[in-house]
Amino acid sequence: MPAARTIGSRIRAFREEREVDLETLAQNTGLTTEFLGKLENDAIYPSIGPLQKVARALGVRLGTFLDDQFSRDPIISRLDGSEADEALHTGRIPRPSYVYHALGKGKNDRNMEPFYIKISPEPTGERKTTSHQGEEFILVLKGELLVVYGRENHVLTAGETIYYNSIVPHFVGAAGDEPVEILAVAYNP
């Protein structure tokens, strides 16, 4: 399969290769066909949760949608600006709330998905939770992070970590009016 350039086109390519229609994918993920259509057309950029649901339904790892199909070992990432053009943006357009840097890009046999993420405050204060299989580990590098986990709210600052089961509905965002920077590692069994 030729390497597609965007997350949406990669999802469409894998869905079509497996001969799965949007309705079936919607049933298998719990996402709407409208959402999946917008996703494939790059009209929206979802958070990790919906991408993990699509990956699981299509039988691929999450990183399949996030990086090219080549493998290196070890992987070294530099976030000094030289890789800024490879960041993945999610959230509201034109101002994305999340900017992901996939730190495992290029290692096809990985079991974890490490990310450096910059999160901007949401102007509406919307805190929509998501849930998916797996676990997540987060280290706050800069700023204040709000984690809503089930019915609990946690505010973490630089140097603090949280490790949780992703099946519990959760939300991760900036706690205040300033952006937050985190190192996040997602594991999807």
Task: Check pLDDT > 70 for residue 3.
Answer: no
C-alpha to C-alpha distance for 55 and 19, rounded to whole angstroms: 15
Give tens-digit pLDDT for 85-106.
345 545 444 445 777 777 877 7
Region 148-165 average pLDDT = 96
Domains within the chain, CATH numbers bracketed: 7-66 (1.10.260.40), 84-187 (2.60.120.10)
As to burial, measured by CB atoms within 10 angstroms (0-12 exposed, 13-18 middle, 19+ buried), residue 10 is buried
pTM: 0.64
